[in-house]
Structure 1
Amino acid sequence: MFFTYLRRELRRRRKAALVVASGLALGIALVIVVTSVSSGMGKAQDKVLQSLYGLGTDMTVTKAAAPAASSSERPRFQFDAREDGDDSEQSSDRVMVQGFQTLAASTVAKVSAQKGVQGAVGGLSLQVLKVSGQFTRGQFQQDGTGGQQGGPGGSGAPQGEVQGGGANFDVNSYSVYGTDVTEPALGPLTSSKITSGRTFRTTETAARVAVADSAYAKEKKLKVGSTVTVKGVKYTVIGVATADSGDAAANLYLPLKQAQTLADAADKVTTIYVQATDSKKIDTVKSAIQKNVSGTTVTTSADLADTVSGSLSTASSLATSVGRWLSIAVLVAAFLVAGLLTSAAVSRRVREFGTLKALGWKSGRVTRQVVGEAMVNGLLGGALGIALGLAGAYAVTAVSPTLQAQLGGGSGGNGGPGGGPGGGFAGPGRQAAAKTLDVALTAPVSVTTVAVAVGLAVAGGLIAGAFGGWRASRLRPADALRRVE
């Protein structure tokens, strides 16, 4: 009887039911789209951060102090004197530690020993300046006097001038990162995918091998098996890596010991990459490291996320604040409208419900009938809302609008938060100037989002049913008799 009457009443009042369901559907669809876009923003930001400091890294540890570079640390280039007429090309490399700030390699063990740390690995960020070119000797040209005029006392040296000659030198700069090959799961190289060749083996701690970033390899026409020379040392390229998003952490990756030798920085690191045992206790781990490992600065991914600006940050703020509040406002309005329409429908059915009560229906039965109709309207609105929300999220993913994430640099070599090399979390080999990364926006819909939508649909039906049920429960059989014509 309940379902028969329910089906008949919904069919008879299908226009009113469709209006209620459409209002709920609009609010639910908006919630799904905004939630999905917010999730996409979070994934885009995570992708940017992972491209900077490596997948699985929760925080970095760097040296706290950041004094200005002394004159002895500034690059100096020396060229040998050549014999007369020797104009062959000369070159000189200057390998510098990014930011000139290092930590003792033993600090890695101290960080690893802290409670809540699952793993820690050190790395050395270097910048290589290569000056190459040649000196050209000038040619002496005599003047027309025949060289007979000279100083007091007689004939002097030939008169004339030197023409031509000079120097022509190019300055090239590229970044090198020394990675601990015994810990391949941490560090900036984990944010890149090996697209040619292979990565380092754990036994190649002192091997003269290198992995090149794909963009740098293309520029320098490097491939697997090619040879690169750094400060007179030849390294064999064993692999080419492509960054998952944004810029690579460095142009070349070398085993940590090789990088320390090149920079005369034995047992030194610039950055320690840390992975926590529990992502929910990162702040606790950060406090423990700062307390127990003196002279360091700890920077978490959350700290770096606060420095991300550009259209990604703007869109994220809009989705989080404006979009979320708009969704709530539309939902509240949809619930109120559904409740008022249901209450109004009950008012128009006074004679119907009064007659049913006169025939023996209890108030509870009438109330359940009204609530049942409202629940069906809510579920119908939920189904429509989920369909509209999925269509909207799919449209956003299909269009994939490109957003820009700007990472502000700082002054000197330690521009980023935490004073890390090349800008803290901004990754080894990066300059202090701001970096702009392009990220494609998606709107993934999770099972949780769909579950929330279903819950909202049920809530909308209950709210509307509460309005109508309360009104129906107050009806009396006498009300029906008064309206009998």
Structure 2
Amino acid sequence: MFFTYLRRELRRRRKAALVVASGLALGIALVIVVNSVSSGMGKAQDKVLQSLYGLGTDMTVTKAAAAPSANSSERPRFNFDAQDSDSDEEQSSDRVLVQGFQTLATSTVTKVGDQKGVADAVGGLSLQVIKVSGQFTRGQFQQNDDGGGRQGGPGGGGTGQPQGEVQGGGANFDVNNYSVFGTDVTEPALGPLTSSEITSGRTFKTSETDAKVVVVDSAYAKEKKYKVGSTITIKGTKYKTIGIATASSGDAAANLYIPLKQAQTLGDAKNKVTTIYVKATDSQQIDTVKSTIQKNISGTTVTTSADLADTVSGSLSTASSLATNVGKWLSIAVLVAAFLVAGLLTSSAVSRRVREFGTLKALGWRSGRVTRQVVGEAMVNGLLGGALGIALGLAGAYVVTAISPTLQAQLGGGGGGAGGPGGGFGGPGRQAAARTLDVALTAPVSATTVAIAVALAVAGGLIAGAFGGWRASRLRPADALRRVE
């Protein structure tokens, strides 16, 4: 009887039911789209940050670079051997510099790893290599064509030397500036190399702690025409290319990756690192771990992903702010309006059905049964609105994902970035932190979002039913029968 009466009443009042369901659908669809876009913003930001610090890294520990002294010279010097001027042999000279930060002792890595809340810690050394290569060309002496050959000689003035000038000659040198990162091959799960995927060859083996092998970033490999098996010479040491790595997003952490010990040898930084990558035991306790490290290891700077996220600007940050703030409050306003409209329309419908409910009560229906009937109708309207809202919300999220609008993310670089001078979080002194990255926006819909939509649909039905049920429960048969519609 309940469902028969329910079906008949909904069919008889299709327009009113459609208005209630449409209002709820609009609010629920907006909630789904806003939540999905916000989730997409979070994924986009994570993608940007991951390109800097790699997977699994929760924070980095560095030491700010010291201010240059008045007597120190920042200009690297290059020395070339004096060779036979007739030789066309190319000369080259490498200068390897520690990049970005002051170095920390490798013992600091162990000390950081022993702090409470730290699951793992690994060190890395960032280097900048300036390579100058080229050759000198001897000039050619051109004798003056004056018909006399030599001037001076016995009885005449002059020096007795050929007269002429040197033409041509000079030097042709090329400067190649690239970055090298020394990675701890025994800890492959941490460090900036984890933000790249090996697309050719292989990565380091844990046994290659001091091997002369190198993994090359794909963009740099394409520029220099390197491939797996190529030999790369750094400061006179030859390294064999074992893999090509492609950055997941943005720029790679370095052009070349070599074992940490080899980097320490090249940079004359034995037992030194520039960056310590830290993984926390609990992602919810990162701030606590940060405070512990800063307290127990003086002179260091601890930077978390949240610190770097605060420096993200550009359209990604603007869109994220809009989705989080404006979108959230707009969704709440629309939902409140939809719930109120649904409740008022249901209450109004009950007012127009006074004779009907009075008759039912006269026939023996109790107030509770009348109330359940009204609430049942409102619940069906709410569920219909929820189904329609979920469909509209999924369609809106699909459209956003299909269009994939491109957002720009600029990480605050310069001297005072979150990761210290010259680099971002975990970015071993990288200048990439000051570059603009393009990220495609998606709007993934999670099961949680759909569950929220269903809950809102049920809540809308209950609120509308509560309005109407309260009104219906107050009707008395005698009063109802006296009223005329």
* Residue correspondence of structure 1 range 263-342 to structure 2 within 5 A: 263-342=267-346
Distance in 1 of aligned mates of 2:143 and 2:419: 64
Distance in 1 of aligned mates of 2:396 and 2:433: 38
Supply the AA of the counterpart residue of 1:139: Q
Once the two structures are TM-superposed, the CA of residue 328 in structure 1 deviates from its matched residue by 1.0
Supply the AA of the counterpart residue of 1:120: A
Structure 2: give runs of 5+ residues left out of the alignment.
none
Which deviates more from structure 2 when the two are superposed, residues 322-331 or residues 287-296?
Answer: 322-331
Distance in 2 of aligned mates of 1:155 and 1:88: 39
Secondary structure of 1:470's aligned partner: helix
Aligned equivalent of 2:405, options 401, 408, 413: 401
1:117 is aligned to 118
Structure 1: give runs of 5+ residues left out of the alignment.
none
Secondary structure of 1:193's aligned partner: strand
**Aligned 8 A contact 2:100 2:430 in 1:** no
Deviations 1:413-442 (A, max 9, x none): xx521316x413161362277212221211
Secondary structure of 1:419's aligned partner: coil
Distance in 2 of aligned mates of 1:433 and 1:27: 39
**Aligned 8 A contact 1:134 1:167 in 2:** yes
Secondary structure of 1:315's aligned partner: helix
Which deviates more from structure 2 when the two are superposed, residues 179-188 or residues 242-251?
Answer: 242-251
**TM-score w.r.t. structure 1 length?**
0.94
Distance in 2 of aligned mates of 1:137 and 1:397: 63
Distance in 2 of aligned mates of 1:424 and 1:407: 8
Supply the AA of the counterpart residue of 2:425: F
Distance in 2 of aligned mates of 1:432 and 1:212: 17
Distance in 2 of aligned mates of 1:221 and 1:65: 34
**TM-score w.r.t. structure 2 length?**
0.94
Deviations 1:370-421 (A, max 9, x none): 111111111111111111111111222222222221112113xxx521316x
Once the two structures are TM-superposed, the CA of residue 87 in structure 1 deviates from its matched residue by 3.9
Deviations 1:195-236 (A, max 9, x none): 111111111001000111111112212111111110110000
Distance in 1 of aligned mates of 2:448 and 2:249: 27
2:458 is aligned to 458
1:126 is aligned to 127
Residue 96 (str. 1) matches residue 75 (str. 2): no
Distance in 1 of aligned mates of 2:484 and 2:324: 55
Secondary structure of 2:158's aligned partner: coil
1:4 is aligned to 4
**Aligned 8 A contact 1:178 1:254 in 2:** yes
Residue 470 (str. 1) matches residue 470 (str. 2): yes
Residue 137 (str. 1) matches residue 141 (str. 2): no
Which deviates more from structure 2 when the two are superposed, residues 255-264 or residues 463-472?
Answer: 463-472
Supply the AA of the counterpart residue of 2:336: V
Supply the AA of the counterpart residue of 1:388: L
Residue 236 (str. 1) matches residue 240 (str. 2): yes
Deviations 1:127-151 (A, max 9, x none): 111111122222333444866379x
Supply the AA of the counterpart residue of 2:125: L
Once the two structures are TM-superposed, the CA of residue 465 in structure 1 deviates from its matched residue by 1.0
Return closer, same or farther for 1:42/1:149 CA change in 2, 3 Å cut-off: farther
**How many residues were matched structurally?**
479
Distance in 2 of aligned mates of 1:331 and 1:468: 19
Supply the AA of the counterpart residue of 1:29: A
Q: Percent identity?
A: 86
Distance in 2 of aligned mates of 1:325 and 1:83: 78
1:165 is aligned to 169
Secondary structure of 2:431's aligned partner: coil
**Aligned 8 A contact 1:250 1:429 in 2:** no
Deviations 1:25-59 (A, max 9, x none): 11101101110110111011111111111101000
1:33 is aligned to 33
2:81 is aligned to 80
2:349 is aligned to 345
Aligned equivalent of 2:194, options 190, 198, 208: 190
Distance in 2 of aligned mates of 1:117 and 1:323: 37
**Aligned 8 A contact 1:351 1:480 in 2:** yes
Once the two structures are TM-superposed, the CA of residue 160 in structure 1 deviates from its matched residue by 3.8
Secondary structure of 2:467's aligned partner: helix
2:51 is aligned to 51
1:258 is aligned to 262
Secondary structure of 1:373's aligned partner: helix
Residue 179 (str. 1) matches residue 183 (str. 2): yes
Secondary structure of 1:250's aligned partner: coil
1:364 is aligned to 368
Distance in 1 of aligned mates of 2:244 and 2:275: 23
Residue 13 (str. 1) matches residue 13 (str. 2): yes
Deviations 1:56-80 (A, max 9, x none): 1000000045423773453211111
Deviations 1:284-335 (A, max 9, x none): 0000000001110000000000111112111111111111111111111111
Distance in 2 of aligned mates of 1:304 and 1:46: 11
Distance in 1 of aligned mates of 2:98 and 2:185: 19
Distance in 2 of aligned mates of 1:29 and 1:74: 61
Return closer, same or farther for 1:65/1:127 CA change in 2, 3 Å cut-off: closer
Distance in 2 of aligned mates of 1:29 and 1:464: 19
Distance in 1 of aligned mates of 2:90 and 2:115: 53
Distance in 1 of aligned mates of 2:64 and 2:226: 37
Supply the AA of the counterpart residue of 1:148: Q
Return closer, same or farther for 1:48/1:432 CA change in 2, 3 Å cut-off: closer
2:151 is aligned to 148
**Aligned 8 A contact 2:118 2:279 in 1:** yes
Secondary structure of 1:424's aligned partner: coil
- Cα root mean square deviation, aligned: 2.0
Distance in 1 of aligned mates of 2:426 and 2:205: 26
**Aligned 8 A contact 1:137 1:164 in 2:** yes
Distance in 1 of aligned mates of 2:85 and 2:39: 69
Supply the AA of the counterpart residue of 1:9: E
Supply the AA of the counterpart residue of 2:112: V
Which deviates more from structure 2 when the two are superposed, residues 109-118 or residues 87-96?
Answer: 87-96
Supply the AA of the counterpart residue of 1:115: K
